[in-house]
Protein backbone atom coordinates (compact mmCIF):
# COMPACT_ATOMS: atom_id res chain seq x y z
CA UNK A 1 0.00 0.00 0.00
CA UNK A 2 1.45 3.35 -0.99
CA UNK A 3 1.53 6.37 1.27
CA UNK A 4 -0.07 9.63 0.23
CA UNK A 5 2.21 11.94 -1.75
CA UNK A 6 1.93 15.65 -2.39
CA UNK A 7 -1.49 17.22 -1.80
CA UNK A 8 -2.99 13.90 -0.70
CA UNK A 9 -2.37 12.20 -4.06
CA UNK A 10 -1.28 8.59 -3.87
CA UNK A 11 2.41 8.22 -4.62
CA UNK A 12 3.46 5.89 -7.38
CA UNK A 13 5.73 2.99 -6.54
CA UNK A 14 9.35 3.20 -7.65
CA UNK A 15 9.98 1.81 -11.12
CA UNK A 16 13.03 0.74 -13.05
CA UNK A 17 14.54 3.23 -15.50
CA UNK A 18 12.64 3.45 -18.76
CA UNK A 19 13.97 1.16 -21.49
CA UNK A 20 15.36 2.57 -24.71
CA UNK A 21 12.50 2.75 -27.20
CA UNK A 22 12.55 3.19 -30.96
CA UNK A 23 11.11 6.55 -32.01
CA UNK A 24 11.84 6.43 -35.76
CA UNK A 25 13.97 4.65 -38.33
CA UNK A 26 14.61 6.60 -41.53
CA UNK A 27 16.35 6.39 -44.87
CA UNK A 28 17.20 9.37 -47.04
CA UNK A 29 14.36 10.73 -49.17
CA UNK A 30 13.32 8.22 -51.86
CA UNK A 31 13.29 10.87 -54.59
CA UNK A 32 16.94 9.97 -55.18
CA UNK A 33 15.67 6.76 -56.76
CA UNK A 34 13.54 8.53 -59.41
CA UNK A 35 16.22 8.38 -62.11
CA UNK A 36 16.87 4.72 -61.33
CA UNK A 37 13.19 3.88 -61.72
CA UNK A 38 13.00 5.78 -65.03
CA UNK A 39 16.13 3.98 -66.23
CA UNK A 40 14.60 0.57 -65.48
CA UNK A 41 11.40 1.51 -67.37
CA UNK A 42 13.36 2.82 -70.38
CA UNK A 43 15.66 -0.21 -70.42
CA UNK A 44 12.72 -2.61 -70.27
CA UNK A 45 10.96 -0.77 -73.11
CA UNK A 46 14.05 -0.64 -75.32
CA UNK A 47 14.87 -4.29 -74.64
CA UNK A 48 11.33 -5.38 -75.45
CA UNK A 49 11.34 -3.37 -78.67
CA UNK A 50 14.78 -4.52 -79.86
CA UNK A 51 14.55 -8.18 -78.79
CA UNK A 52 14.40 -10.21 -82.00
CA UNK A 53 14.89 -7.11 -84.20
CA UNK A 54 18.64 -6.58 -83.90
CA UNK A 55 20.86 -6.04 -86.96
CA UNK A 56 22.92 -8.97 -88.25
CA UNK A 57 26.18 -8.82 -86.22
CA UNK A 58 24.34 -8.54 -82.89
CA UNK A 59 22.49 -11.32 -81.08
CA UNK A 60 19.72 -11.26 -78.48
CA UNK A 61 21.99 -12.46 -75.66
CA UNK A 62 24.17 -9.36 -76.19
CA UNK A 63 21.13 -7.13 -75.81
CA UNK A 64 20.03 -8.93 -72.65
CA UNK A 65 23.55 -8.75 -71.15
CA UNK A 66 23.76 -5.01 -71.89
CA UNK A 67 20.29 -4.42 -70.40
CA UNK A 68 21.26 -6.41 -67.30
CA UNK A 69 24.45 -4.37 -66.86
CA UNK A 70 22.55 -1.08 -67.26
CA UNK A 71 19.95 -2.12 -64.67
CA UNK A 72 22.62 -3.39 -62.28
CA UNK A 73 24.76 -0.24 -62.47
CA UNK A 74 21.97 2.30 -62.83
CA UNK A 75 19.28 0.91 -60.54
CA UNK A 76 20.37 -1.92 -58.25
CA UNK A 77 23.56 -0.28 -56.95
CA UNK A 78 21.85 3.08 -56.19
CA UNK A 79 19.03 1.19 -54.45
CA UNK A 80 21.53 -0.71 -52.30
CA UNK A 81 23.35 2.52 -51.46
CA UNK A 82 20.02 4.09 -50.43
CA UNK A 83 18.97 1.07 -48.35
CA UNK A 84 22.27 0.81 -46.47
CA UNK A 85 22.13 4.37 -45.11
CA UNK A 86 19.79 4.37 -42.08
CA UNK A 87 19.10 6.88 -39.34
CA UNK A 88 17.61 5.58 -36.09
CA UNK A 89 16.16 7.82 -33.39
CA UNK A 90 15.54 6.24 -29.98
CA UNK A 91 14.55 7.73 -26.65
CA UNK A 92 18.25 7.85 -25.68
CA UNK A 93 20.29 8.53 -28.83
CA UNK A 94 20.53 9.12 -32.58
CA UNK A 95 22.32 6.46 -34.61
CA UNK A 96 23.55 6.87 -38.20
CA UNK A 97 24.69 3.74 -40.05
CA UNK A 98 25.88 3.38 -43.61
CA UNK A 99 27.66 0.82 -45.72
CA UNK A 100 26.97 -2.69 -46.92
CA UNK A 101 30.20 -4.60 -46.32
CA UNK A 102 32.11 -2.14 -44.15
CA UNK A 103 29.69 -0.39 -41.81
CA UNK A 104 30.21 3.16 -40.58
CA UNK A 105 28.38 3.69 -37.27
CA UNK A 106 27.98 7.07 -35.52
CA UNK A 107 25.78 7.96 -32.59
CA UNK A 108 24.97 10.93 -30.41
CA UNK A 109 23.34 10.76 -26.98
CA UNK A 110 20.37 13.02 -26.22
CA UNK A 111 21.57 13.55 -22.63
CA UNK A 112 24.73 15.32 -23.77
CA UNK A 113 22.61 17.88 -25.55
CA UNK A 114 23.38 19.12 -29.03
CA UNK A 115 22.44 21.85 -31.44
CA UNK A 116 20.26 20.98 -34.41
CA UNK A 117 20.74 22.85 -37.68
CA UNK A 118 18.40 22.31 -40.61
CA UNK A 119 19.67 22.97 -44.14
CA UNK A 120 17.33 22.83 -47.10
CA UNK A 121 17.99 23.32 -50.79
CA UNK A 122 15.30 24.30 -53.28
CA UNK A 123 14.48 20.70 -54.26
CA UNK A 124 14.54 19.59 -50.63
CA UNK A 125 12.00 22.29 -49.73
CA UNK A 126 9.76 21.19 -52.58
CA UNK A 127 9.76 17.61 -51.26
CA UNK A 128 9.71 18.48 -47.54
CA UNK A 129 13.16 17.01 -47.01
CA UNK A 130 16.29 18.51 -45.50
CA UNK A 131 19.72 17.85 -44.07
CA UNK A 132 20.03 17.90 -40.28
CA UNK A 133 23.40 18.66 -38.69
CA UNK A 134 23.63 17.61 -35.02
CA UNK A 135 26.57 19.10 -33.16
CA UNK A 136 27.49 18.69 -29.49
CA UNK A 137 30.58 20.89 -29.77
CA UNK A 138 32.94 18.08 -28.74
CA UNK A 139 32.80 15.42 -31.44
CA UNK A 140 32.44 15.79 -35.19
CA UNK A 141 28.91 16.80 -36.20
CA UNK A 142 26.49 14.01 -37.05
CA UNK A 143 24.95 14.74 -40.46
CA UNK A 144 21.58 13.23 -41.40
CA UNK A 145 21.45 13.80 -45.17
CA UNK A 146 18.25 14.33 -47.14
CA UNK A 147 15.86 13.29 -44.34
CA UNK A 148 12.16 13.13 -45.32
CA UNK A 149 9.83 15.37 -43.26
CA UNK A 150 12.86 17.22 -41.94
CA UNK A 151 10.79 19.73 -39.95
CA UNK A 152 9.02 16.96 -38.04
CA UNK A 153 12.29 15.10 -37.41
CA UNK A 154 13.81 18.37 -36.13
CA UNK A 155 10.94 18.77 -33.64
CA UNK A 156 11.21 15.14 -32.49
CA UNK A 157 14.95 15.48 -31.89
CA UNK A 158 14.47 18.73 -29.94
CA UNK A 159 11.80 17.06 -27.79
CA UNK A 160 14.00 14.02 -27.13
CA UNK A 161 16.93 16.22 -26.06
CA UNK A 162 14.68 18.18 -23.72
CA UNK A 163 13.14 15.06 -22.16
CA UNK A 164 16.53 13.37 -21.74
CA UNK A 165 18.00 16.41 -20.03
CA UNK A 166 15.00 16.72 -17.70
CA UNK A 167 15.30 13.04 -16.79
CA UNK A 168 19.08 13.33 -16.25
CA UNK A 169 18.55 16.35 -13.99
CA UNK A 170 15.91 14.55 -11.94
CA UNK A 171 18.12 11.49 -11.58
CA UNK A 172 21.03 13.65 -10.44
CA UNK A 173 18.75 15.14 -7.75
CA UNK A 174 18.02 11.69 -6.37
CA UNK A 175 14.70 10.86 -7.96
CA UNK A 176 13.55 9.74 -11.36
CA UNK A 177 10.31 9.54 -13.27
CA UNK A 178 7.93 7.40 -11.32
CA UNK A 179 9.94 7.33 -8.10
CA UNK A 180 8.16 8.09 -4.89
CA UNK A 181 8.61 11.55 -3.42
CA UNK A 182 8.96 11.91 0.35
CA UNK A 183 5.72 12.52 2.22
CA UNK A 184 5.17 16.12 3.38
CA UNK A 185 5.75 16.82 7.07
CA UNK A 186 3.04 18.32 8.94
Would you say residue 131 lies in a domain? Answer: yes
Stated as kind and residue range, the H or E segment containing 107 is strand 104-109
Any idea which of 14-23, 68-77, 88-97 has the lowest mean pLDDT?
Answer: 14-23
d(CA 96, CA 85) in angstroms, rounded, equals 7
How many structural domains compose the chain?
1
pLDDT for 177? 52
Would you say residue 186 lies in a domain? Answer: no
For the domain that residue 73 is a member of, what is the CATH number?
Answer: 2.30.29
**Could you tell me the residue range of the domain that residue 70 belongs to?**
22-172
Q: Which tens digits make up the pLDDT trace of 119-169? A: 999 999 999 999 999 999 898 999 999 999 999 999 999 999 998 888 877
Let me know: does 132 contact 116? Beta carbons within 8 Å: yes
Would you say residue 5 lies in a domain? Answer: no
pLDDT for 172? 77
Which pLDDT band holds residue 97 (cuts at 50, 70, 90)? very high
Backbone angles phi, psi at 26, to 5 degrees: -130, 155
Would you say residue 87 lies in a domain? Answer: yes
Would you say residue 4 lies in a domain? Answer: no
Would you say residue 116 lies in a domain? Answer: yes
Span between the terminal Cα atoms of the chain, in Å? 21
Per-residue pLDDT at 6 exceeds 60: no
Would you say residue 6 lies in a domain? Answer: no
Any idea which of 7-16, 25-34, 47-56, 63-72 has the lowest mean pLDDT?
Answer: 7-16
Would you say residue 148 lies in a domain? Answer: yes
pLDDT for 72? 97
Amino acid sequence: MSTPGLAGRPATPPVAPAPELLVARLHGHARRLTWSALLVIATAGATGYLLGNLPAPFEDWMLLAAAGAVVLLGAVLPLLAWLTRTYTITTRRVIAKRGLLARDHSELSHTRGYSIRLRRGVLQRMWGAGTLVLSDGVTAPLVLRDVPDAGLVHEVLADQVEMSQIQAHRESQGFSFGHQLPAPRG
